[in-house]
């Protein structure tokens, strides 16, 4: 794992991806968290990493609400559930 890819973090938080609870680094965007879980597939995906391309759209449930977000911008909170991802996000979990 390349630590230079991620924002500094002091702990892992739990999020749910594809129905499974996963531990990801706190203080990182959802796309970086997905990269933490599936390094190769996310690293070579077609992402701008700044919200312009919209290729990293995901549907999340957090705080009891569902919404679509741009994964390269939004940081998850403990317990966030990823309900679906755009076709451009290919997770190899």
pLDDT of 2 > 70? The answer is no
Residue-wise pLDDT for 43-59, tens only, equals 999 999 999 999 999 99
Domains and CATH numbers, the chain: 14-85 (3.10.20.30)
pLDDT of 3 > 70? The answer is no
Neighbouring C-beta atoms of residue 72, cutoff 10 Å: 21
The pTM of this model reads: 0.92
Q: How confident is the model at residue 5 (pLDDT cuts 50, 70, 90)?
A: confident
Residue-wise pLDDT for 8-49, tens only, equals 999 999 999 989 999 999 999 999 999 999 999 999 999 999
């Amino acid at each position: 794992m390349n630590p230079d890819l991620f924002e500094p973090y002091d702990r892992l938080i739990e999020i749910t991806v594809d129905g499974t609870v996963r531990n990801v680094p706190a203080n990182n965007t959802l796309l970086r968290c997905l990269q933490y879980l599936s390094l190769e597939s996310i690293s070579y995906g077609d992402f701008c990493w700044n919200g312009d391309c919209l290729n990293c759209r995901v549907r999340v449930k957090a705080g009891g609400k569902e919404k679509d977000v741009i994964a390269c911008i939004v940081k998850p909170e403990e317990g966030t559930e990823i309900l679906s991802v755009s076709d451009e996000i290919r997770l190899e979990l």
